[in-house]
C-alpha cells in the first residue's frame, strides 16, 4: 500500500478512481478488525450519507496500541517535550502508553461513561491528553476536544451542544511565560452546563483550584484506584469516534462528527504516504491536539502507523525563537510539520536562532492550515530544509479528517505554494459560479470533491440538515470545501483561500458572523461588520468596523479596549480583532445587506478596486470609512 515512486502514485490513483471499493478494501485489510465489513461503501451526495466498511467491528485503540505490542512494545510511541526546557521530557513506549490508556479507560468507566457518551477534553498539550482521548475511544465514548484557548462561554456552548457527561481538564496550563488557570475557566463554564456529572482534573502546575465536592476529582487519585487492563469495547465501523467544533460562515460553530472505521483507515494511509514515514523515524507535528491536525497527525495517524510522535507543550518563541530548532536537534527529528504562520513568525526573528542548531536529521518538511506564501516557502526550504528536504504543502480541513491534496514527500515533484495533486481516493473538481465542472488545466474555480473518501465528515452533531445544507447544497451532488482554487498547466492545485465569510487567522478558522455576534454583545455597540485582511504573520487579520452608541459617553480608546475584551470573553483571544474602526455607518444595499466586498477592499487598502457602489443606500458612508481608515 506504500507508494514509493511517481509511477506507484499514478497507478494507485487510477485504481482508486476506477474501483474505489476494491482500492479501499485492500488498504483496510491491513488493519485489525474483529469482523470484516459487509460492504465497503454506501453513499449519496444528494441526500447526504456516507458509510464506510459497513458492518465491520473493531476498536481503533487496538490498532493504535495492542497491535504494536507484538513487535514494538518497547519502541517509544510519544516523546513529550515540556513548555519549559529545564523541565524533564517524558517518553512513553507503546507498552506504557497501552497500560496508561487501559488504566484511564477504567477511570472513565468508574465515572459512568459508556459507549456513545460524550466526553469533553479541555487540556494542555501533555501526554495525558492523548491518553484521555484514546481511553474515550477504548470505552466507545465520543471525545470532543476543545482547544484550551477558548473562553468559558465557548466551552460551555460546546459542552451543551454535545451534552457531554464528563469534562477533563487540568489545574493550569503552561504556555510560554504564561500560566493559564484553565480549571477556573471550566468552573465558570459548568455554571451553565447541566449535562456534566464529573470533572476530572490533572495536576500540572500545582495552582490552587477549587474542587467541587461530588463533581470534581483528581486524575492521579482516580488512576491510583484503577485496574491496569481494559478490554476494548467492540465498535461498529460507523460508530462516532469524535466531535470537533469548527467555525463556518454562519451561526455558531458546528460539531463535525467523524466515525471510527473510515477515519482510522484514511488517517494512517495519508500519514504513511504523505510523510513517507519510515520505521524508526522521529516525527513531529507542532499543532495543538485541540485542532484536527493534532487529532489526525499527532495522535491517530502516527500511532496507527506505529510511529514515534513528538508532542510539544509550549510555543515557538519561548524562551526564544530557537525553541523549535532546539527540539529538532534534541530528538533528531526526521519529519517536521508546522503552519505557515509559525514559519513567518520565526523567519522574522532572524537566522541566528536557526543556525545555532543541528538540523541535519530533517528529511521531510510539512506545512498546513493556510496558503503558504512564496517567501515563507523559500525560507523554509533553504534555511530549515537546507534545500535537501521536500516540503509537503498539505491541504485539508476539519471536515475531511485527513490530508486531501498534497505532494507525497520525495515522490511528487513540488512547486512553491502548490498543494500539487490529490491523494489516491480523492476526486477534486473546480466548479464555476453556475456549478459547471471546469475541464482541463489552467482554470480557477470553487474547490469541490465529487466522490466520498473514508474520513469524510459524517454529520454535524445533532443536526444532519445543517450538514447537508452547509456542505452539499451549494452545488448539488458535490461536497463544497469553501475554498477557491487554481489548477495550473501541469494539473497542479493551488489553494487560493476561502471564498466564504470565514477568516483564516494563523491557520485557524474564524467565522465573521461569530466575531460580529460577540462584538455586538457589548452594550455600547449598535452594529458591526468583520472582514479579513492580509496580515504579515497571521496570514489574515481580523478587521472590525463598528458603529457605537454616541450617547454611551465612551471615547474611542475605551471602546477599542472593551470590544477586544468582549471578543476574548465570548470566544477567546484567538478571535480578537487586530483592528477596530469606529464608524457612523456601514455600506448597505437597499435590502439591508452589508457589502463586505467593499469593506474587504478598504481593509486591504485597495480603494481603487471598490467596484460598483451605486447600489448602496448611502454611498457617502464609503467616503467616511475610507477617510477614517486612512486609505
**Residues binding ligand WT7 (CB under 6 A):** 246, 292-293, 368-371, 393-398, 419, 481-483, 495, 497-498, 504, 507, 509
Dig out the grid coordinates for 2 from the structure.
506504500
Question: In this complex, which beta carbon is closest to ligand WT7, that of residue 166 or of residue 431?
Answer: 431
Query: Please, are residues 94 and 68 in contact by the beta-carbon 8 Å criterion?
Result: yes
N-to-C CA span, the chain: 55
CB of 288 to ligand WT7, least distance (A): 11
CB of 393 to ligand WT7, least distance (A): 5
CB of 417 to ligand WT7, least distance (A): 8
Question: In this complex, which beta carbon is closest to ligand WT7, that of residue 353 or of residue 396?
Answer: 396
Query: Please, are residues 79 and 310 in contact by the beta-carbon 8 Å criterion?
Result: yes
Q: Give the sign of the dihedral formed by CA 317, CA 91, CA 134, CA 299.
A: positive
| Relative orientation angle of helices 556-570 and 512-520, to the nearest 10 degrees | 120
Bridge partners of 508, per DSSP, are 505
CB of 256 to ligand WT7, least distance (A): 8
- CA atoms within 13 A of residue 85's CA, in its CB half-sphere: 14
CB of 114 to ligand WT7, least distance (A): 30
Question: In this complex, which beta carbon is closest to ligand WT7, that of residue 371 or of residue 385?
Answer: 371
Question: In this complex, which beta carbon is closest to ligand WT7, that of residue 137 or of residue 285?
Answer: 285
Q: Which of 489, 493, 408 is nearest to 449 (CA)?
A: 493
What three-state secondary structure class fits 43?
strand
| Cα→Cα distances 431→45, 422, 445, 479, 503, Å | 16, 16, 5, 11, 22
Question: In this complex, which beta carbon is closest to ligand WT7, that of residue 381 or of residue 588?
Answer: 381
Report the C-alpha gap between 180 and 170 in whole angstroms. Answer: 10
CB of 404 to ligand WT7, least distance (A): 9
CB of 449 to ligand WT7, least distance (A): 12
Dig out the grid coordinates for 362 from the structure.
530533517
CB of 249 to ligand WT7, least distance (A): 11
Report the C-alpha gap between 589 and 292 in whole angstroms. Answer: 38
Core vs surface per residue 306-320: b (16+ CB within 10 A) or e: bbbbbbbbbbbbbee
Question: In this complex, which beta carbon is closest to ligand WT7, that of residue 140 or of residue 262?
Answer: 262
Report the C-alpha gap between 623 and 621 in whole angstroms. Answer: 5
Question: In this complex, which beta carbon is closest to ligand WT7, that of residue 223 or of residue 449?
Answer: 449
Query: Please, are residues 604 and 497 in contact by the beta-carbon 8 Å criterion?
Result: no
CB of 340 to ligand WT7, least distance (A): 8
Question: In this complex, which beta carbon is closest to ligand WT7, that of residue 482 or of residue 587?
Answer: 482
Torsion angles phi and psi, residue 525, rounded to 5:
-95, 130
Question: In this complex, which beta carbon is closest to ligand WT7, that of residue 509 or of residue 535?
Answer: 509
Q: Give the sign of the dihedral formed by CA 368, CA 373, CA 378, CA 384.
A: negative
Q: Which of 247, 571, 269, 500 is nearest to 398 (CA)?
A: 247
CB of 292 to ligand WT7, least distance (A): 5
Question: In this complex, which beta carbon is closest to ligand WT7, that of residue 175 or of residue 509?
Answer: 509
Amino acid at each position: 500500500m506504500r507508494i514509493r515512486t511517481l509511477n506507484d502514485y499514478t497507478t494507485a490513483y487510477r485504481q482508486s478512481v476506477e474501483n474505489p471499493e476494491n482500492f479501499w478494501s485492500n488498504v483496510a485489510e491491513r488493519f485489525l478488525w474483529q469482523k470484516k465489513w459487509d460492504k465497503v461503501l454506501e453513499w449519496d451526495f444528494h441526500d447526504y450519507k456516507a458509510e464506510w466498511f459497513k458492518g465491520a467491528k473493531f476498536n481503533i485503540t487496538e490498532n493504535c496500541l495492542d497491535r504494536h505490542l507484538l513487535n514494538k512494545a518497547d519502541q517509544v510511541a510519544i516523546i513529550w517535550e515540556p513548555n519549559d526546557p529545564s523541565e524533564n521530557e517524558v517518553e512513553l513506549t507503546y507498552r506504557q502508553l497501552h497500560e496508561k490508556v487501559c488504566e484511564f479507560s477504567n477511570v472513565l468507566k468508574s465515572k459512568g461513561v459508556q459507549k456513545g457518551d460524550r466526553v469533553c477534553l479541555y487540556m494542555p498539550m501533555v501526554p495525558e491528553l492523548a491518553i484521555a482521548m484514546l481511553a474515550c475511544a477504548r470505552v466507545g465514548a465520543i471525545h470532543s476536544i476543545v482547544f484550551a484557548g477558548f473562553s468559558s462561554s465557548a466551552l460551555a456552548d460546546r459542552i451543551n451542544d454535545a451534552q457531554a457527561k464528563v469534562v477533563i481538564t487540568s489545574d493550569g496550563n503552561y504556555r510560554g511565560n504564561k500560566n493559564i488557570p484553565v480549571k477556573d475557566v471550566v468552573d465558570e463554564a459548568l455554571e451553565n452546563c447541566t449535562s456534566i456529572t464529573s470533572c476530572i482534573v490533572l495536576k500540572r502546575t500545582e495552582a490552587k483550584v477549587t474542587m467541587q465536592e461530588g463533581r470534581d476529582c483528581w486524575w492521579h487519585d482516580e488512576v491510583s484506584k484503577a485496574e491496569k487492563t481494559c478490554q476494548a469495547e467492540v465498535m461498529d465501523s460507523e460508530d462516532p469516534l469524535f466531535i470537533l467544533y469548527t467555525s463556518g460562515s454562519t451561526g455558531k460553530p458546528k460539531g463535525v462528527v467523524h466515525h471510527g472505521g473510515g477515519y482510522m483507515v484514511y488517517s494512517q494511509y495519508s500519514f504513511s504516504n504523505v510523510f513517507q514515514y519510515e520505521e524508526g523515524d522521529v516525527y513531529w507535528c507542532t499543532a495543538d491536539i485541540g485542532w484536527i491536525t493534532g487529532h489526525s497527525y499527532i495522535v491517530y495517524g502516527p500511532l496507527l502507523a506505529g510511529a514515534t510522535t513528538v508532542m510539544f507543550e509550549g510555543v515557538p518563541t519561548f524562551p526564544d525563537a530557537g525553541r523549535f530548532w532546539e527540539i529538532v536537534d534534541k530528538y533528531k527529528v526526521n519529519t517536521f510539520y508546522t503552519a505557515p504562520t509559525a514559519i513567518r513568525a520565526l523567519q522574522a526573528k532572524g537566522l541566528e536562532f536557526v543556525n545555532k542548531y543541528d538540523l541535519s536529521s530533517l528529511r521531510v518538511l510539512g506545512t498546513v492550515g493556510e496558503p503558504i506564501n512564496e517567501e515563507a516557502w523559500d525560507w523554509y526550504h533553504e534555511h530549515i530544509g537546507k534545500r535537501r528536504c521536500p516540503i509537503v504543502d498539505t491541504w485539508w480541513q476539519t471536515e475531511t479528517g485527513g490530508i486531501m491534496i498534497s505532494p507525497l514527500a520525495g515522490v511528487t515533484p513540488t512547486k512553491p505554494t502548490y498543494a500539487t495533486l490529490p491523494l489516491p481516493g480523492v476526486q477534486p473538481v473546480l466548479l464555476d459560479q453556475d456549478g459547471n465542472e471546469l475541464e482541463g488545466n489552467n482554470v480557477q474555480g470553487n474547490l469541490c470533491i465529487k466522490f466520498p473518501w473514508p474520513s469524510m465528515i459524517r454529520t454535524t452533531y445533532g443536526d444532519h440538515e445543517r450538514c447537508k445544507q452547509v456542505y452539499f447544497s451549494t452545488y448539488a451532488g458535490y461536497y463544497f470545501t469553501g475554498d477557491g482554487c487554481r489548477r495550473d498547466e501541469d494539473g497542479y492545485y493551488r489553494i487560493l483561500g476561502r471564498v466564504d465569510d470565514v477568516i483564516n487567522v494563523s491557520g485557524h478558522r474564524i467565522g465573521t458572523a461569530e466575531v460580529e455576534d460577540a462584538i455586538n454583545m457589548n452594550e455600547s455597540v449598535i452594529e458591526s461588520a468583520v472582514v479579513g485582511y492580509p496580515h504579515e504573520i497571521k496570514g489574515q487579520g481580523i478587521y472590525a468596523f463598528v458603529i457605537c452608541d454616541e450617547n454611551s459617553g465612551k471615547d474611542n480608546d475605551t471602546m477599542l479596549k472593551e470590544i477586544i475584551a468582549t471578543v476574548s470573553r465570548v470566544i477567546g483571544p484567538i478571535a480578537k480583532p487586530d483592528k477596530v474602526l469606529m464608524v457612523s455607518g456601514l455600506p448597505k444595499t437597499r435590502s439591508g445587506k452589508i457589502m463586505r466586498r467593499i469593506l474587504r477592499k478598504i481593509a486591504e487598502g485597495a480603494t481603487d478596486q471598490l467596484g460598483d457602489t451605486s447600489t448602496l443606500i448611502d454611498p457617502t458612508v464609503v467616503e467616511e470609512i475610507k477617510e477614517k481608515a486612512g486609505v
